[in-house]
Chains A and B, each alone.
Chain A
Amino acid sequence: NAGVMQNPRHLVRRRGQEARLRCSPMKGHSHVYWYRQLPEEGLKFMVYLQKENIIDESGMPKERFSAEFPKEGPSILRIQQVVRGDSAAYFCASTPGRGDTQYFGPGTRLTVL
């Protein structure tokens, strides 16, 4: 049973470019959560999605960041016009239902030059 998968594992972007991060939940899981880990800090909640719905995006920056979880395919976290401060590790987690124990993927480490 494959775990949560994220790709790419490492992503390098220049300032102003777009970053697309993908997360495939565990089999049977329809709830996805995105977290950001800045250097020397713990993970911070960004957004919670269910298939085709954004449930809670209270942790998302108001501009440039968006997330989706379509009916088919992985969840996507999209960062437009990246800045150096976006450099971080982005983790997703999944659960079969709301409030269940979250299982994390290996993360995508974004570096903005």
Chain B
Amino acid sequence: AQSVTQPDIHITVSEGASLELRCNYSYGATPYLFWYVQSPGQGLQLLLKYFSGDTLVQGIKGFEAEFKRSQSSFNLRKPSVHWSDAAEYFCAVGDDYKLSFGAGTTVTVRA
């Protein structure tokens, strides 16, 4: 069975600083991997996805993620955060049609 672990429940970062969110997955085959962002009271917006090919994936809003098979990781990064990046971030692994989500990481951005 697939599973996702997001080790950091809450991260606080200064505006303009870099951000890295960790994601580790457990899956038997080559996974489909996703990062979604959820702003307060809103639905989930897809930031980026990895299906195959280049292990460094570019997404929207300046985010990128790197798939590392040897570490079973798919960490999300942004070089310089903006106050509007404050939200909850979910990593997910897909098995055909069924997504399994991590518990999420809440990002707070301080001025």
A residues at B contact (CB < 8 Å):
4, 6, 31, 33, 35, 40-45, 48, 55-56, 91, 95, 98-99, 101-107
Query: Apart from A31-B97, A101-B34, A106-B43, what are 13 other A-B pairs with CB-CB below 8 Å?
Result: A35-B99, A41-B103, A42-B4, A43-B99, A45-B99, A48-B97, A98-B97, A99-B94, A101-B49, A103-B46, A104-B43, A104-B44, A105-B43
Q: How far is B94's CA from A43's CA once the two chains are assembled, in angstroms?
A: 13
- When C-beta atoms are compared, the residue in chain A nearest to B42 turns out to be A106
Residues on the B chain within 8 Å of A56, using CB: 97-98
- When C-beta atoms are compared, the residue in chain A nearest to B88 turns out to be A42
Residues on the B chain within 8 Å of A41, using CB: 103-104
- Give the total of B residues in contact with A, Cβ under 8 Å: 21
B residues at A contact (CB < 8 Å):
4, 34, 36, 42-46, 49, 90, 92, 94, 96-104
- When C-beta atoms are compared, the residue in chain A nearest to B100 turns out to be A45
Q: How far is B92's CA from A35's CA once the two chains are assembled, in angstroms?
A: 13
Known: A99-B96, A104-B36. A44 touches B46 (CB 8 A): no
Which label, helix, strand, loop or mixed, suits the secondary structure of the B interface? strand
Residues on the B chain within 8 Å of A45, using CB: 98-100
Closest 9 CB pairs of A and B: A42-B101, A106-B43, A104-B44, A43-B101, A104-B43, A42-B103, A45-B98, A107-B43, A99-B96
Known: A42-B90, A42-B104. A102 touches B99 (CB 8 A): yes
- When C-beta atoms are compared, the residue in chain A nearest to B104 turns out to be A42
Q: How far is B36's CA from A6's CA once the two chains are assembled, in angstroms?
A: 18
